[in-house]
Amino acid sequence: MNLGFLETEHGSFELPVFMPVGTKGTVKAMPPSMLKELNVKIILGNTYHLYLRPGHKLVEKMGGLHKFMNWDGPILTDSGGFQVFSLNHLRKIEEEGVEFRSHLDGSKHYLTPELSIEIQNSLGSDIKMVFDECPAYGSDKNYLNKSLELTSRWALRCKKEWTRLGSNGKLFGIVQGGMYPDLREKSLDQLLEIGFDGYALGGFSVGEPKNEMYETLCATMEKISSRAITAPVYLMGVGEPEDILFAVKYGVKMFDCVIPTRNARNGGLYTFKGKMSIKQAKYIDDPLPLEDGCDCYTCKNFSRAYLRHLYMSGELLSYYLNTVHNLRFFMRFMENLRNSIKNDDYDNFYADFLNNYNKGSV
C-alpha cells in the first residue's frame, strides 16, 4: 500500500483524502477559516445547486467559487448528474442530455455534458467530474449496460468540451455498471480509452446492501489494479469510517460524504470509541468533552452537558460546535489512516480502529 499525492492550482495534498461537502458554496455552518483550522484539504461543491442558485454565471462574475466563498484551497465539483437523476419524476433522459425541473421553483432546464463542463468551468473548480447517468439500485442488467454506454459517450463529449474550454483543472471519469463486475469492467475500459486524470466509482451508496457494495467495489478495484492505473480512484458519496477503511485497502484514494456535517446537525457525533447521540439523557450532567484527546475547538472548550443543552434548545451554536467536532474527527481519522500507510501498518490500524469503534463505549 502507498499514499498518493494530488496537485492542483489551489494546493497539493496527500491521498487518501476525505472531502467535506459544501453543496451551495458553503460547508454548512462552517466559516472557511474554521475549515483550515480543522485541516480540511479539499472540499466538494455541487454543480446542480450552484447552477440553480445563485447561478454559475453570477459566481463567475464574482471571481469564481473560490473567491465567492473565500476558500482558497482545492475544490472538486460534481457534474450535477447524480442530483438530476435523483429528481425521479422531474426529469427525462435523452441522448443529448437531461431535461429536468428545478426543485426550487419547478422551472424547466436542460443539462448536457457540455453544459455541465461549462458550469464547472465557470465555477473554476480544480477537479471537474464528467456528466454521467447514475441508474437507481436494482435497475436490470440490460438497462445498466445501455446506461453505461451512454455515460461513456457523455464522458467523451465532456472531455472534448473540457479540452475546447482550455483544459482547466483536472477532469475525472465516472465508472458505472451497477453491481455487475463485468459491466464495471466494460465501463472502466471505455473511460480508460478516453483518458482522464482520475476515475470515480459512481452508483455506490445508493441503497444497496453493504455486502453487495463491498463485493462489487472489490471486484472493480481488482480490475483497476490489473490495469496498473496510477490516476487516483474516487468512491463517490462514501462514507462511514468502516467503508473508507475497506475501500482504502483495495486502493481507493478519495472520498466525499455529507454524513459528518448532516449527522452533526442531527446531534449524531463521531468518536474513536463509536458514535454517540448528544440528545441522550445520560449526557445531561456529563462534564466531559465529547471526546477525550480530541483537539477541536468544541472538545477543548465545552462539556457534553452544554452541547446537549444547545441541541435540546435548538440553538444555532449547536450546529456549529457539532459540525466542528465531526469534521475534525474525519480529518483526524484520515490523518491517522495516512500515517498508518506511511508506517506500513495499515492492517493493524484497520483492526484497532474497528475494535475501539465498535465497542460503542462512549
For residues 37 and 352, which CB has a smaller minimum distance to a second copy in the complex? 37
**Marked catalytic residue, from 126, 132, 243, 256:** 256
Q: Which of 139, 168, 303, 356 binds a second copy (CB under 8 A)?
A: 303
Q: How far is CA 41 from the centre of its chain?
A: 13
**Stretch 274-293 residues interacting with a second copy (CB under 8 A):** 284-285, 287
DSSP structural state of residue 21: B
Are 62 and 55 within 8 A, CB to CB?
A: no
Tell me whether residue 352 is one of the annotated catalytic residues. no
Quick check: 29 binds a second copy (CB under 8 A)? yes
- Of the pair 75, 247, the CB lying nearest a second copy is at 75
Length in residues, the chain:
362
Q: How far is the CB of 110 from a second copy (least distance, A)?
A: 23
Shortest distance in whole angstroms from residue 103 CB to a second copy: 13
Dihedral angle, C-alpha 275, 279, 283, 286, nearest 10 °: 100
Using rule CB under 8 A, residue 3 touches a second copy: no
- Joined grid coordinates for residue 316: 444555532
Question: Angle at which helices 181-194 and 210-226 pack, to 10 degrees?
Answer: 40
9 Cβ contact partners less than 8 Å away, ≥ 6 residues apart: 126, 169
Give the x/- contact pattern for a second copy in 46-75, rule: CB under 8 A: -------xx---x--xxx----xxx-----
Clarify whether 256 is annotated catalytic.
yes
Nearer to a second copy, 3 or 62 (CB): 62
Annotated catalytic residue within 72, 78, 105, 352: 78
Smallest CA-to-CA distance from 69 within 50, 41, 48 is with: 50
Binding positions for a second copy, 193-212, rule CB under 8 A: none
Alpha carbon distances (Å) from 174 to 89, 199, 203, 217? 24, 6, 9, 14
Dist. CA 216–CA 316, nearest whole Å = 41
Total interface residues for a second copy by CB under 8 A: 38
CA distances from 283 to 289, 305, 312 (A): 11, 6, 11
Candidates 10, 14, 26, 137: give the one binding a second copy (CB under 8 A). Answer: 26
Find the binding residues for a second copy in span 306-325 (CB under 8 A): 306, 308-310, 312-313, 315-317, 319-321
Active-site residues, by number, are: 78, 256
**Where on the chain is the footprint of a second copy (CB under 8 A)?**
24-26, 28-33, 53-54, 58, 61-63, 68-70, 284-285, 287, 297, 301-303, 305-306, 308-310, 312-313, 315-317, 319-321
